[in-house]
Structure 1
Amino acid sequence: MYDATAKVPSGLLSGNVNQFGDFDECVGVEGKDGIQGQYCLAYLQLVVDQSRPDLKYLHRLLHSHYAFRSNISDPGHRVPRFSTVNWAVCTPASCTAQDVKNSLQHAISKYTNQTGLKITLQVDQDMCQVKRELVLSKATIATSFLFVTVFVLTLVGAYYDHYKIPASELLLSFSLKRNIQKLFSLERPQGDIASLHGIRFLNSVLLVIAHKSLAVFFIPYMNRTYMSEFLGKPWTVIGRAASLYTDPFIMLSGLLTTYSFVGKLRKNGTLGIKHEYLSRLLRLVPTLGALVLFCTYIMPYIGSGPQWPLVVTNHANICKKTWWRNFLFIHNYFGFENMCLTHTHHVGIDTQLFAISPLMVLLLYKRPKIGTIVLCIIALISTILRFYVTYSKNLNNYIYYGTSIRQLFDTADFSYTLPSHRLTVYIIGIFTGYILRNIPKNFKLTTTALYTGWTVCTIMFLTAFIGPSKMGSLDYVYNPIHAAIYNAFAPIGWCGLFLWIAIMQHTGNSNGWLTKLFSWRGFLVTTRISYGVYLTQFPIYFFNVGQTRTAEYYEFFNVMVNLKEIICIFLTSIILTLLFDTPFQNLKNYLLLKKAMSTKDTIKISKME
Structure 2
Amino acid sequence: MIGVSLVFGSCILFISNGIGLIRAYDQCNSSLFVDNDSGFMGCNRMNKSSIQQFAYKPNVSLNNNNISVLMQVINENLIRQEAETNLHSLTVQNLIYAIPPMALVNSTNVLCKKHSQIYLEELEKLTMWALKMYDSSAKVPSGILNGNINQFGDFDQCLNANDQSSGIQGQYCLAYVEMDAAGDNEKIKNIIKLMHSHSAFRSRLEDPGHRVPRFSTINWAICTPASCSPSDIEQEIHTLLSKYVNTNEIRFRLKVDPNMCQTLRKSYVPTTGSLIAVLTFGALFATIALSTVLDLLSTRLQESKSSLSKFIYSFSLKRNILQFINLNESPDSIKSIHSIRAINAFMLLASHKSMAMFFNPYSNRTQMAEKLGKRWTVLARAASLYTDPFIFMSGILTCTTFLRHLERKGKINIPNEYLSRYVRLVPTMGAIILFCTMILPNLGSGPQWNLVVKQHADICEKYWWRNFLFIHNLFGFKNVCLSHTHHIGIDSQLFALSPLLVWTLWKWPKKSLVAMIGLAAFSTGLRYYATMTKKLNLFINYSSSVSTMYDTADFSYVLPTHRLTVYIMGILLGYLLKCVGPNYKMKSINIKLGWIIAIGFFYQAYIAPSKMGDMNYVYNVIDAANYAAFAPICWCIFFGWIIFISHTGNGGLVSEVFSWKGFIILTRFSYTFYLTQFPVFFYNVGSNRAPLEYSFGLMCDIHEFLVTIFVSIALTVAVEMPFNNIKTAFIRKS
- State the TM-score, normalizing by the size of structure 1: 0.96
Q: CA deviation at 1:39?
A: 0.3
1:545 aligns with 2:545: no
| 2:587 counterpart (418, 436, 446) | 446
Q: Which moved more, 1:228-237 or 1:439-448?
A: 439-448
Q: CA deviation at 1:174?
A: 0.1
Q: CA deviation at 1:370?
A: 0.5
CA contact 1:81–1:405 (8 Å) conserved in 2: yes
1:415 aligns with 2:550: no
1:404 aligns with 2:536: no
1:13 aligns with 2:145: yes
Separation of aligned partners in 2, 1:297 and 1:345: 21
CA contact 1:179–1:582 (8 Å) conserved in 2: yes
Residue 429 of structure 2: SS of its match in structure 1? helix
Separation of aligned partners in 1, 2:312 and 2:603: 50
Separation of aligned partners in 1, 2:718 and 2:583: 42
Map residues 102-117 of structure 1 onto 2, 5 A cutoff: 102-113=235-246, 116-117=249-250
Separation of aligned partners in 1, 2:563 and 2:663: 26
Alignment partner, residue 602 of structure 1? none
| 2:710 counterpart (536, 546, 571) | 571
Per-residue Cα deviation, 1:223-252 (whole angstroms, up to 9, x for no partner): 000111101121111000000000000000
Q: CA deviation at 1:581?
A: 0.2
Alignment partner, residue 152 of structure 1? 286
Separation of aligned partners in 2, 1:544 and 1:27: 20
Instruction: Using CA pairs under 8 Å that are at least 6 residues apart, name the structure with larger relative contact order, 1 or 2.
Output: 1
Q: CA deviation at 1:118?
A: 2.9
Q: CA deviation at 1:406?
A: 0.8
Alignment partner, residue 603 of structure 2? 462
Q: CA deviation at 1:165?
A: 5.0
Q: Which moved more, 1:442-451 or 1:486-495?
A: 442-451
The count of residues paired between Structure 1 and Structure 2 equals 593
Per-residue Cα deviation, 1:514-573 (whole angstroms, up to 9, x for no partner): 22111111111110100000000111111111011000000012x100001100110010
| 1:38 counterpart (157, 171, 174) | 171
Q: CA deviation at 1:114?
A: 6.5
Alignment partner, residue 178 of structure 1? 319
Alignment partner, residue 27 of structure 1? 159
CA contact 2:198–2:366 (8 Å) conserved in 1: yes
CA contact 1:255–1:430 (8 Å) conserved in 2: yes
Per-residue Cα deviation, 1:231-289 (whole angstroms, up to 9, x for no partner): 11211110000000000000000000001000111112111111101100000010010
Percent of residue pairs bearing the same amino acid type: 50
| 2:664 counterpart (517, 520, 524) | 524
Separation of aligned partners in 2, 1:114 and 1:450: 66
Q: CA deviation at 1:166?
A: 2.6
Query: In the alignment, residue 139 of structure 2 is paired with which amino acid?
Result: K
Separation of aligned partners in 2, 1:503 and 1:171: 41
- Mind listing any 5+ residue stretches in structure 2 that lack a counterpart? 1-132, 302-308
Separation of aligned partners in 2, 1:401 and 1:446: 44
Residues 1:185 and 1:114: Cα distance change in structure 2 (over 3 Å): closer
Separation of aligned partners in 2, 1:194 and 1:113: 65
Separation of aligned partners in 2, 1:459 and 1:135: 60
Query: In the alignment, residue 95 of structure 1 is paired with which amino acid?
Result: C
Separation of aligned partners in 1, 2:636 and 2:562: 15
CA contact 2:314–2:725 (8 Å) conserved in 1: yes
Residue 661 of structure 2: SS of its match in structure 1? coil
Separation of aligned partners in 1, 2:337 and 2:371: 34
Query: In the alignment, residue 680 of structure 2 is paired with which amino acid?
Result: I
Residue 136 of structure 2: SS of its match in structure 1? coil
CA contact 1:263–1:437 (8 Å) conserved in 2: no
Residue 34 of structure 1: SS of its match in structure 2? coil
Q: CA deviation at 1:106?
A: 2.5
Separation of aligned partners in 1, 2:479 and 2:513: 38
CA contact 1:286–1:584 (8 Å) conserved in 2: yes
Separation of aligned partners in 2, 1:518 and 1:315: 37
Separation of aligned partners in 1, 2:222 and 2:240: 12
| 1:54 counterpart (184, 187, 190) | 187
Query: In the alignment, residue 19 of structure 1 is paired with which amino acid?
Result: Q
CA contact 2:446–2:689 (8 Å) conserved in 1: yes
- Mind listing any 5+ residue stretches in structure 1 that lack a counterpart? 597-609
Q: CA deviation at 1:107?
A: 2.7
Alignment partner, residue 533 of structure 2? 392
CA contact 2:182–2:247 (8 Å) conserved in 1: no
1:135 aligns with 2:258: no
Separation of aligned partners in 2, 1:578 and 1:30: 46
Q: Which moved more, 1:74-83 or 1:409-418?
A: 74-83
Q: CA deviation at 1:395?
A: 0.1
Query: In the alignment, residue 157 of structure 1 is paired with which amino acid?
Result: S
1:584 aligns with 2:723: yes
Separation of aligned partners in 1, 2:477 and 2:646: 39
Per-residue Cα deviation, 1:100-158 (whole angstroms, up to 9, x for no partner): 11222233333314772232110011110001122210110110111111112111111
The structure that has the greater radius of gyration is 2
Alignment partner, residue 392 of structure 2? 251
Alignment partner, residue 274 of structure 1? 415
Map residues 70-219 of structure 1 onto 2, 5 A cutoff: 70-113=203-246, 116-132=249-265, 133-167=267-301, 168-219=309-360
Separation of aligned partners in 2, 1:50 and 1:571: 53
Q: CA deviation at 1:442?
A: 2.9
Query: In the alignment, residue 276 of structure 2 is paired with which amino acid?
Result: A
Alignment partner, residue 64 of structure 2? none
Residue 178 of structure 2: SS of its match in structure 1? strand
Q: CA deviation at 1:189?
A: 2.5
CA contact 1:253–1:426 (8 Å) conserved in 2: yes
Residue 218 of structure 1: SS of its match in structure 2? coil
Residue 459 of structure 2: SS of its match in structure 1? helix
1:345 aligns with 2:517: no
Query: In the alignment, residue 42 of structure 1 is paired with which amino acid?
Result: A
- State the TM-score, normalizing by the size of structure 2: 0.80
Q: CA deviation at 1:75?
A: 1.1
Q: Which moved more, 1:417-426 or 1:267-276?
A: 267-276
CA contact 2:381–2:539 (8 Å) conserved in 1: yes
Map residues 499-538 of structure 1 onto 2, 5 A cutoff: 499-512=640-653, 514-538=654-678
